[in-house]
Structure 1
């Protein structure tokens, strides 16, 4: 790093002359008039008297005063201050200067400049009449006035006093006027010294011939060869072409030879000296490619942004300078620039972004890069900026200068923002994440799956691509205009892929746009410079906030609420943020197929955009690293800030809706498809969900059940209503064919089951026998047929198959039963193809848990007695039969019949101790040990007195009489 050697001196004789001039104002005014007259005379010879007079008067109306400080001390470093008013940078660290006196500069070097720039320098009064004539003639012909013979004095006043490189006639007149003044105040030697030290510039930030000799050749000026002096004299004409560097010397050689020829023509050197100098090989200093020492500069990225980009832009706007001149003044103009830099925030950002552990490993020897942009969205202040790893002052400022594809980070802006603002979308609008071809464009999701129906809130938080494209294409022109209103310099076309971030933008633009969501719909344009003072302490610039409402506060909150889900585990693509940073926040990921990973998000305090990737797309990046880095920066920068919630504006209402229809939940809407969403009041749904239907499904086929389907296969289900969809095919290049939306599995089928033959005869004649601890089921069937037995309980449970494999019997003993439970059974026949027939009829059976009473009793008169018939009941070991001739009393036990153990089987007893003409009454009590059941119903029978012993006894108690048989049977 080179610094000034000594101070530029003020010439005593000059000061004395000035004092004399100031002491005689009359003389000064006379001289000024004379100068104006001289200029009018000069210009009039080319333009005509009247024209010249008007032009000169107009041009001198706003001519700057001669600034002797700038001439005598031309190079004053500019200083930068952080938001706390503390200086953190001075341009002298970046500018190579070595001040030399007139006497210290070799005569050959002076002569080289005289020959190249102004051969009459020591003789003219500040202008060259011949060169000025050429300039005026070019102007008259409508040509540029560059190359119009500016003298060294004119060049000096143009760069130092006018600080303008424009070449119009007005500036030429002002330049001429000030040159006359300068020639009056200073000697030729003083002017030449000023010029060679401060008005000649070289590639990079090298200023003056002393620094040029050192930086380009590694020498002092008195060590230079003639050829090297010619290079130094020729380069300022076009520094970036004529300053030699390794690999680019051709322009310098051509310019050197031109200067040497001019020196020869001016008799400064001999022909032999010229030819010898032209043969010299250009040997550069080893540091010629990078002559500046930037080590130890604090916040180099922020410095580069202010010094080389934002500061230069502001100076151009203030002074109407071109970029080159504004850049020079930034280094040498002595400005004090007060910035928005928050040193504490900046340091925390740099600590994390400079940590190699935050990045993927190198790919083919190339390291991935990263940038971070932190904005106070409440004011627009840029509080921290990280332009890239291993950044050296002057390198690319990626957040501002690198245009990258934002991927899905663009979705809140380009797909959903305007939709919410216009009312075309609500958080509850249902979109279909399903394969869809938009003309020839077939978007994929990063997981190569499609999730099906979802609300726009979920589609945004889960970053689903087809919904984003669909939402964008509802009104692509308006969506692009919305993006522009947020500061994105998007072109006018509306390519469908824009919705997925294929149109490039900068991190600064993207972060600023997110700040409007954080700031309730109000965009504060990002700025980094608060105020600028010139070298005399005058305020020449103060930032005026540029604020505009780009969306309603309600729209901003709907986006914010959706992006809060995006960093919620299980709901969004960046849930791992919550492993590190737990404050109220909203953010969105973005990835591309060309080496970009993004996370842009905000809290109520700050908006942060982090990008990681490969400058030349050398490898894949993903979003995993970015998510962690973003979270760590937010954690550290918010450690001393309150955990504030986002303000919810009025006019919003939160209601639970069906996520598959966007409507109010119905009795069929499953609970896992119900979530609360925010709506602008008046836009909330009023109809009930119609996305679900209740259907009976055969579990064998998964199709709609028919009467032929066995009950155990028939399930009543609530399913999504059927909708049309397509599957991926060869148009989808990045995933397998045949993929479909995941919720297709939840959709009701359209077709009926055909797996069960309605013509095949099912088993029939089901019956049962109750045993002590089991139930036997029997049915009719043929040999070599096989069957399945199904059972359920009366409480409505599903039927389950009892046998592990088809059985070849026509009965089945169910031992896995409990007393007091009612069971339901049916049987199916298994066909040769393993399909089942329609089911048999269903029977219900209960195995009681105590002695059950005899439910039915029949009595009938037979030849020689009374036959008592009854069905055995469960749990009985014996049956006590009672008889009486009086229905109300006098019953005696006449029989103790032993139970046979077949519950439900009919048992009979014949009472032969009877007398004709009497009526007998009977009941039965089932007993087991000491337990007795309630008596059976009483039954009575009348015995005829003239009973014919020879008559045949009809079967089943039928006496053959079609009337009453003269016998009654009574229940008592």
Structure 2
């Protein structure tokens, strides 16, 4: 009978040992992320750890890990037959693996000294090393080494890095609920990662707490309070600093692409080749740091830069400090303000309007069924009470003209053009949409400005060019996806209009002085100065800068031209330092004409305000301007218009003929 019992114990121990071997603690192979030139951006599982003494680890954590991993840790001498039997019993009862048979000392020996192979020879080595560890070190020393060695997922090795990664605190500050959740991760970090599987992690936490109650470490009331306490584990990379928001998006993409292997990015040994340019990214990070150094610590921002010719995302910043906030504002929706206007003007040019078309900025009221009349005002709250050419209206960001233009085209037309150019967020087809009242992301804005920079061609943004597994096999490969969405002439005319934003008289003239190369862009400022934007571009690079508070009740207190545009200009100057100062290619049949800003007609030597504008050949104004003229013929023509704005074309022609007999009649 005794021999039979001994045999059963041996068999049970072997079975539990096999169970332990089937689910060993993960020994990840680091994945590497490279930039577009093959330079290493980040190693995703690089044994990121911060060793700490046992006295700096919360007693809650010490008890929790012992309870779930090795309840008899302080009683055995490294190898625990009782623990093997207990694990077997619990696993059979649960119908799944809920407890391993390896002791903490065995796991430490395995992690520190052995490879991942599963052989009888390796098991013998493990047992021998376990005995040696127990002989050489005290239980406290073994527990300290173990807690500093084990892998907790998301690139975090050791309890200090895990505490910082998941809960943004030190190991000594972990409370009971946090400790139980972290202790529960160790058995299978991919499966019980609380940032990606909170429900599973909660179940595991509950099991840890129950074991602590059974072992007399805590009371049932303490366990109940720990279960009920809300926890907000962070989804972040342990110790990640350079291009942190970009790399976090890479990890998120891999987790979504391989849902059955959520920790593959950290443990799969992948080589991930991306579109990021480290030089451009570092220029963005340096500019951001300098810009925000003297700002309110709560003020946040984002920057996205991409190549409109390929769709390569060259830089991404989602906030000032990834270690403080992992919320990626480059992918968050906010109202863009007047930065949305270029889509409206592209629609207008396509529909026969020109840069010289004039609309008045004057008091106007639009009837909205079921709502009070909509009465748009200019940025300063008033009106200019004069006509604007479309070019001047865009580069000075006149709101009243933009709303009237949207009224004439129809808000659905604006929605269609924004969609065509790359905006995917929900858009509300209201007259106010012209002023950027629907929320979009910075990444969407660079995508939608891309066709303006690239001859009407939309390049879909992407972050990853190729993913290779450990054996060099290609898991995924991406190439540019290009689509002609605008007439090249329309794209160029709008770009020519937006160049004025960075020139004297434009809303970002000061920023234009910081960037000594051809460029175009648009400022955006939302109601009550809540958000500031600038989206601008050269032929090589489109960049969106967003600045605002996460708390939308707060105001940035400045315009996009004052706050976002200078940051954009400094970044672009640094990012393009070694790039040629190319201008935008001029499409065939585009011509340039000097027009009078007061009436949109062809400028004369007497015009006081002259704008050079681009036109499709045949659409340019041919009549000379008269508003700025003090000659007899100019005064007479002005008087005629003031007396009767509905004069007959022939009467106008007769007047011009009388003043200049050599003038030839054209179809105006």
**TM class, shorter-length:** 0.5 to 0.7
Distance 2:570 2:216 in 1: 65
> How far is the alpha carbon of 1:533 from its aligned partner?
0.7
Look up the match of 1:426: 354
Look up the match of 1:378: 309
Cα pair distance change 1:504/1:201, threshold 3 Å: farther
1:545 aligns with one of 480, 493, 496: 480
List aligned pairs for 1:156-555, cutoff 5 A: 232-233=183-184, 240=194, 255-256=207-208, 273=215, 278=220, 297-308=241-252, 310-313=253-256, 316=257, 319=258, 321=259, 325=260, 327-356=262-291, 361-362=295-296, 366-392=297-323, 395-400=326-331, 402-413=332-343, 415-423=344-352, 425-439=353-367, 440-451=373-384, 452-473=386-407, 474-491=409-426, 493-555=428-490
Higher helix share: 2
Higher relative contact order (CA 8 A, sep 6+): 2
Distance 2:84 2:640 in 1: 90
> Are the aligned partners of 2:445 and 2:544 in contact in 1 as well (CA < 8 Å)?
yes
Secondary structure of 2:608 counterpart: helix
Distance 2:27 2:358 in 1: 67
> Are the aligned partners of 2:608 and 2:628 in contact in 1 as well (CA < 8 Å)?
no
- Whether 1:638 aligns to 2:572 is no
> Are the aligned partners of 1:227 and 1:280 in contact in 2 as well (CA < 8 Å)?
no
- Deviation larger for 554-563 or 434-443: 434-443
> Are the aligned partners of 2:340 and 2:435 in contact in 1 as well (CA < 8 Å)?
yes
> Are the aligned partners of 1:202 and 1:243 in contact in 2 as well (CA < 8 Å)?
no
> How far is the alpha carbon of 1:359 from its aligned partner?
6.6
Segments of 5+ residues of structure 2 without an aligned counterpart are: 1-13, 15-20, 52-65, 74-79, 100-117, 127-145, 368-372, 646-668
- Whether 1:627 aligns to 2:562 is no
Distance 1:352 1:659 in 2: 36
> Are the aligned partners of 1:311 and 1:330 in contact in 2 as well (CA < 8 Å)?
yes
Segments of 5+ residues of structure 1 without an aligned counterpart are: 1-13, 15-67, 132-148, 154-181, 191-195, 262-268, 697-714, 726-972
List aligned pairs for 1:670-689, cutoff 5 A: 671-672=607-608, 675-685=611-621
> Are the aligned partners of 1:352 and 1:629 in contact in 2 as well (CA < 8 Å)?
yes
The TM-score with structure 1 as length reference comes to 0.48
Distance 1:340 1:333 in 2: 21
Deviations 1:639-666 (A, max 9, x none): 222211110000223334454554556x
Cα pair distance change 1:494/1:212, threshold 3 Å: closer
> How far is the alpha carbon of 1:446 from its aligned partner?
1.7
Cα pair distance change 1:211/1:428, threshold 3 Å: closer
Distance 2:182 2:274 in 1: 39
Deviations 1:644-700 (A, max 9, x none): 1110000223334454554556x9x9523654432223434466769899999xxxx
List aligned pairs for 1:777-792, cutoff 5 A: none
> How far is the alpha carbon of 1:256 from its aligned partner?
4.7
Distance 1:227 1:341 in 2: 36
Cα pair distance change 1:360/1:430, threshold 3 Å: farther
Deviations 1:848-903 (A, max 9, x none): xxxxxxxxxxxxxxxxxxxxxxxxxxxxxxxxxxxxxxxxxxxxxxxxxxxxxxxx
- Whether 1:653 aligns to 2:591 is yes
Cα pair distance change 1:382/1:118, threshold 3 Å: farther
> How far is the alpha carbon of 1:243 from its aligned partner?
11
Cα pair distance change 1:208/1:341, threshold 3 Å: same
> How far is the alpha carbon of 1:622 from its aligned partner?
1.7
Distance 1:553 1:462 in 2: 24
Aligned residues, how many? 540
> Are the aligned partners of 1:412 and 1:559 in contact in 2 as well (CA < 8 Å)?
yes
> Are the aligned partners of 1:94 and 1:294 in contact in 2 as well (CA < 8 Å)?
no
Look up the match of 1:880: none
Distance 2:196 2:549 in 1: 34
> Are the aligned partners of 1:368 and 1:613 in contact in 2 as well (CA < 8 Å)?
yes
Distance 1:631 1:462 in 2: 18
> Are the aligned partners of 1:584 and 1:645 in contact in 2 as well (CA < 8 Å)?
yes
List aligned pairs for 1:860-871, cutoff 5 A: none
List aligned pairs for 1:531-930, cutoff 5 A: 531-570=466-505, 572-593=506-527, 594-617=529-552, 618-619=554-555, 620-623=557-560, 624-663=562-601, 671-672=607-608, 675-685=611-621, 718=638, 721-722=641-642
Deviations 1:127-172 (A, max 9, x none): x9xx9xxxxxxxxxxxxxxxxx55569xxxxxxxxxxxxxxxxxxx
> Are the aligned partners of 2:47 and 2:157 in contact in 1 as well (CA < 8 Å)?
no
Distance 1:693 1:183 in 2: 97
The TM-score with structure 2 as length reference comes to 0.67
Look up the match of 1:76: 29
Cα pair distance change 1:291/1:639, threshold 3 Å: closer
> How far is the alpha carbon of 1:280 from its aligned partner?
5.0
Look up the match of 2:70: 106
> How far is the alpha carbon of 1:507 from its aligned partner?
0.7
Secondary structure of 1:555 counterpart: helix
> How far is the alpha carbon of 1:406 from its aligned partner?
0.6
> How far is the alpha carbon of 1:234 from its aligned partner?
9.0
Secondary structure of 1:466 counterpart: helix
Cα pair distance change 1:481/1:258, threshold 3 Å: farther
> How far is the alpha carbon of 1:238 from its aligned partner?
6.3
> Are the aligned partners of 2:50 and 2:161 in contact in 1 as well (CA < 8 Å)?
yes
